[in-house]
């Protein structure tokens, strides 16, 4: 169980997130909101790349709010940023191996699971990640995170820029990952409709504040319109 209690953060003097509170259990937890609402800022803050300016966060009861990213990763958090989420000069195999440096289970076992989820990658194994298609690169980024055997997986707009076919595939893979592993998945997305279809619960951010935390099935179009209003 991961908990944020009234967290605030931002960039230098600029506070972007204000008093954000929620909990994530073994579920797909959607983070929705308009461009600039603060979704990426929230993900970066949870991943410990931005300091808290207020509030606290706990993983299974332990306060992790002042931890360095690597320490949080070792404790079970994996983060896939919105941009620049693969090492372009390294091969697919090397990218995945980097994720495998954390975690206890045999690397070969974890690699087999990732290749099972993303069979398309097997033909690209020795190709440099910078030459992959957008969809393939996202598979590598998610695969690298899964190699860490996370308890909490943060995905920042993993479907951005993908064609509809890839979007649907990746969403169903994300759902499958959550169900099979029983982990917490925080999924920041622009695409509210498709995200709500696979999410258990959703948080809507509006100008850096919580507009709503609700069961995904209960978030209707009217609520979304209000939540996305600037």
Ligand X SMILES: Nc1ncnc2c1ncn2[C@@H]1O[C@H](COP(=O)(O)OP(=O)(O)OP(=O)(O)O)[C@@H](O)[C@H]1O
Residues that bind Mg ion (CB under 5 A): 39-40, 82
The secondary structure of 89-136 as a DSSP string is TSBHHHHHHHHTTS-SS-HHHHHHHHHHH-GGGGGGTTSBGGGS-HHH
- Only one residue has tokens 């860490």, namely 148
Judged by beta carbon, residue 82 or residue 127, the one nearer ligand X is 82
Q: Would you give the DSSP letter of residue 153? A: E
18 binds ligand X (CB under 6 A): no
Q: Alpha carbon 229 to chain centroid distance?
A: 24
183 binds ligand X (CB under 6 A): no
Instruction: Choose one: 29-37, 61-69, 72-80, 175-183; the region binding ligand X (CB under 6 A).
Output: 29-37
Considering only 2, 3, 28, 41, the residue that binds ligand X (CB under 6 A) is: 41
- Looking at the chain, how many residues does it have? 230
What are the DSSP E strand ranges found in the chain?
Answer: 2-11, 14-24, 28-32, 54-59, 62-63, 77-80, 152-156, 184-188, 201-206, 209-215
Considering only 127, 190, 191, 223, the residue that binds ligand X (CB under 6 A) is: 190
52 binds ligand X (CB under 6 A): no
Tokens of 150: 């996370």
Binding to ligand X, residues 132-171 (CB under 6 A): none
202 binds ligand X (CB under 6 A): no
**Count of residues in contact with ligand X, rule CB under 6 A:** 13
81 binds ligand X (CB under 6 A): no
Determine the Cα–Cα distance for residues 219 and 213; give it in Å rounded to an integer: 9
Looking at beta carbons, which residue is closest to Mg ion?
A: 40
| Dihedral pair phi/psi, residue 217, rounded to 5° | -70, -15
In the complex, minimum distance from the CB of residue 143 to ligand X, in angstroms, rounded to a whole number: 22
Q: 37 contacts which partner out of Mg ion, ligand X, none, CB within 5 to 8 A by kind?
A: ligand X
Judged by beta carbon, residue 15 or residue 173, the one nearer ligand X is 15
Judged by beta carbon, residue 82 or residue 128, the one nearer Mg ion is 82
| Dihedral pair phi/psi, residue 158, rounded to 5° | -65, -20
16 binds ligand X (CB under 6 A): yes
CA-based nearest residue to 129, from 86, 99, 82, 160: 86
Contacts with ligand X by CB under 6 A lie at 11, 14, 16, 33, 35-41, 82, 190
């Amino acid at each position: 169980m991961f908990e944020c209690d009234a967290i605030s953060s931002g960039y230098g003097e600029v506070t972007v997130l204000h008093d954000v509170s929620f909990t994530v259990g073994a579920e797909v937890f959607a983070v929705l909101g308009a461009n600039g609402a603060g979704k990426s800022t929230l993900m970066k803050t949870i991943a410990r790349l931005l300091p808290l300016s207020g509030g606290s966060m706990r993983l299974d009861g332990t306060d992790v709010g002042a931890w360095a990213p690597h320490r949080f990763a070792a404790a079970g958090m994996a983060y896939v940023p919105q941009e620049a989420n693969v090492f372009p000069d390294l091969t697919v195999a090397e990218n995945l191996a980097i994720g495998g440096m954390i975690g206890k289970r045999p690397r070969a076992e974890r690699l087999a699971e990732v290749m099972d989820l993303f069979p398309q990658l097997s033909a690209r194994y020795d190709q440099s990640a910078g030459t992959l298609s957008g969809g393939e690169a996202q598979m590598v980024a998610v695969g690298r995170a899964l190699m860490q055997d996370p308890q909490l997986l943060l995905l920042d707009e993993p479907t951005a820029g993908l064609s509809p076919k890839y979007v649907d595939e990746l969403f169903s893979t994300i759902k499958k990952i959550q169900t099979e592993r029983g982990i917490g998945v925080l999924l920041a997305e622009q695409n509210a409709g498709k995200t709500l279809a696979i999410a258990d619960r959703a948080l809507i951010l509006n100008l850096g504040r919580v507009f709503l935390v609700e069961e995904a099935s209960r978030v209707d179009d009217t609520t979304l319109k209000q939540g996305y209003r600037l």
